[in-house]
Amino acid sequence: MASARHTLRTASTIAGLEWQLEWRQGHQLAAVGLFAIASVYVAFQASDHNTTAAGWTAMLWLVHLFSGFTAIGRLFDRERTEVRRYLQWTAEPLGLMLGKLFHAILTTTALTAVVLGAFVLFLGWPQGMDDPGKPGLLVLGAWMGGLSMTTTLVFVSAVASQIRAGGSALAAVLGLPLLLPQLILATRLTRGALADQPWTMLVEYPLFLGALGAGTSAIACILFPYIWRA
Amino acid sequence: MKGAWNWTWKAGSILLLGYVILRGFGTPLQPGLVTATPSQLGIGTDTIILAAAGQPFAAADDVPSDFHVVLRAGDQLLKTETVEITPHSVRLAVNTPATLPSRALDAFVFTPAAGTLFLGNACFVEEAAKGDIPKDFRAKAPEERAPKLGFSFPYQPNIIESIRNLLWHVPMWFAMFFIMGLGFVASLAQLRTDNINWDMRAEAAVKTGLVFGLLGLATGSLWARWTWGAWWVSDPQLNGALVTVLLYSGYLILRAAMGDDDRVGRLAAVYNVFAFIMLVVLLMVLPRYTESLHPGKDGNPGFNSYDLDNSLRAVFYPAVIGWGALCYWMYTLRLRMNRHAYHLLSR
């Protein structure tokens, strides 16, 4: 049984490896950014500074959702086959999962910044709104929503990567229904933050999102060893 | 011995469900007041018709002297005169004074047979000034009587006759939880032992559970149309139910996508464990913490005392057991099919 220190060392190695891979295969990172900004631009063209708060929220989360899919959906099968086989035999599964999760969290944080920044830059705030009611909560909601989406996606793409053909398509099919609860909470939080609802009504949403994210991460860590060397 | 028990519980479940269907549709509903027409009253004399649903609350030859209707404004009672009684309505003559403690009037009907019927905010008197009801207009509170109805289902405003759906809708979900829980245990065992038998059990459980989940959605949708006015509403309980059913459909898609890959048992077990934990979170945890139209939620884990009275319980519990046993029976059949298919394929 691997010690906790060994697990953590594996995790940090994997996270570093992921980071290197990300920079070496720069096209993947660029592809996600391009996807996010192009989607925001489509939303901007379609709305032309004329959206209601509900429409704004819907578009924000659609862009965020599908950018997340693009970024995280391939997390478990982007190494070359040889590297993957090597990892399968040498890396400790829990450490590997933690490393991948850490990387996914970093990616999501960056992605949230890009999506939300581009959204505000191009679309501005919803019609008749000079400022959002609670900008801090808006940012927190986008980030927490993104994180709890991501952790679920990590689990789903780990399962889907075990399938020989069509894994990424399957990740989308399995992932979308799983993300509905997170999206429901996140969109309510965003709408409330835009409309300046009182803190007491909104504070439960980031808590729920955080709990869902933490819970799915924990389940993913517990179950991952069973599929990794199946 | 085993053989005897094997058909006894199956026959028992059929008998129970037969009882549930007969009792569920055959039991009369206690009467309750549905509407008052007109809902706006002027000052002075007027007639009101109170309409009731459920079993007849009065016989045609009921003695009006034993049959009282009063209207309540605030904490004072306004007297009325009963003009005509039919089995499902009563016509009143009322003389509305110019001053009332409240503009909204609640109606109370005291019947000899069915006890006291109540309709909150039955009528409004826009023009009334605030003040006490004058002495001449007041009624004395009639004596409350216990209903002499026998076995009957309780009247709930809005739900009315659709209360019978309780015997279908709720047990469907109980049966689904039960069989999915069985699948969860089978999947855990599959992960521990890597024995294909457990995988076959888990698959049979999920397939059977999905049937009951879909039936639960269908009966719930019907009920929502009747009570809330729409086939589907955005509500934590409903969202959770839909996501759960989609999640378990994903289990079947995952299996289908894997084909005859020999890792299917493990992967499916991992997914099933995850799915069941999500089921518990989505259907039993999250809805408790958010506002919901759905009864039995909002911080209260069980049914409220007014949702289930003894007559309903006497049919509801057999329904839960009957549907649960039927569900388990379906699961055993599916499991047998899975085993036959496995032996045929591995020959």
pLDDT band at A112 (very low <50, low <70, confident <90, very high): very high
Task: Tell me, yes or no, whether B8 lies in a domain.
Answer: no
Judge if B212 and B292 occupy the same domain: yes
Q: What pLDDT is stored for residue B263 in this prediction?
A: 84
Per-residue pLDDT averaged across A59-75, rounded?
A: 89
Task: Tell me, yes or no, whether B11 lies in a domain.
Answer: no
Last residue of a domain, one of B89, B105, B137: B137
Mean pLDDT over the full length of chain A: 86
3-state secondary structure (DSSP) of residue A98: helix
Q: How many domains does chain B have?
A: 2
Alpha helices in A48-134 (DSSP H): 53-72, 81-90, 93-123
Count other Cβ atoms within 10 Å, centred on residue B310. Answer: 8
Closest CA to A210 of A136, A143, A148, A142: A148
ipTM: 0.85
Q: Does B239 touch chain A (CB under 8 A)?
A: yes
Domain that holds residue B285: 160-345
Judge if B222 and B325 occupy the same domain: yes
CATH value at residue B60: 2.60.40.10
Residue bearing tokens 């969860």: B184
Residue of B nearest to A160 (CA): B254
Q: Is the pLDDT of residue A230 over 60?
A: no
Nearest CB among A164, A173, A226 relative to B270 is that of: A226
Substitution target in A149, A156, A162, A228 with the highest count of B β-carbons within 10 Å is: A162
Judge if B246 and B329 occupy the same domain: yes
pLDDT tens string, chain B, 347 residues long: the values are: 678 898 999 999 999 999 999 999 998 888 889 999 888 888 888 899 999 988 888 776 666 677 888 999 988 899 888 888 888 888 989 999 888 999 999 999 888 878 888 898 899 998 888 888 888 888 888 877 777 778 888 888 888 888 899 999 999 999 999 999 999 999 999 999 999 999 999 999 999 999 999 999 999 999 999 888 889 988 888 888 999 999 999 999 999 888 877 888 999 999 999 999 999 988 888 777 776 677 754 444 344 444 567 888 899 999 999 999 999 999 999 999 999 998 998 87
Q: Does A212 touch chain B (CB under 8 A)?
A: yes
Q: What pLDDT is stored for residue B248 in this prediction?
A: 95
Judge if B167 and B85 occupy the same domain: no
Q: What pLDDT is stored for residue B299 in this prediction?
A: 40
Test A163 with B258 for CB contact under 8 angstroms. Answer: yes
Judge if B219 and B164 occupy the same domain: yes
Last residue of a domain, one of B75, B103, B137: B137
- The phi-psi region of residue A128 (left if phi > 0; otherwise alpha if psi is between -120 and 50; otherwise beta) is left
The single-letter code of the amino acid at A86 is Y
Judge if B166 and B126 occupy the same domain: no
Judge if B336 and B206 occupy the same domain: yes
Per-residue pLDDT averaged across A184-212, rounded?
A: 88
Judge if B216 and B90 occupy the same domain: no
CA–CA separation, A43 and B96 (whole Å): 61
List the B68-73 sheet strands across, edge first. Answer: B32-37, B44-53, B89-96, B76-86, B68-73, B104-111, B115-124
Query: What share of chain A in percent tops pLDDT 90?
Result: 30
Judge if B101 and B223 occupy the same domain: no
3-state secondary structure (DSSP) of residue B225: helix
Whether the CA torsion B127, B130, B135, B137 is positive or negative: it is positive
Q: What pLDDT is stored for residue B42 in this prediction?
A: 87
Q: What pLDDT is stored for residue B54 in this prediction?
A: 87
The string of DSSP letters for B180-204 reads HHHHHHHHHHHHHH--HHHHHHHHH
Task: Tell me, yes or no, whether B16 lies in a domain.
Answer: no
pLDDT digits (tens, 9 = 90+) for A34-58: 999 999 999 999 887 788 888 999 9
Per-residue pLDDT averaged across A100-127, rounded?
A: 91
pLDDT band at A21 (very low <50, low <70, confident <90, very high): confident
| Minimal C-alpha gap between B297 and chain A (Å) | 17
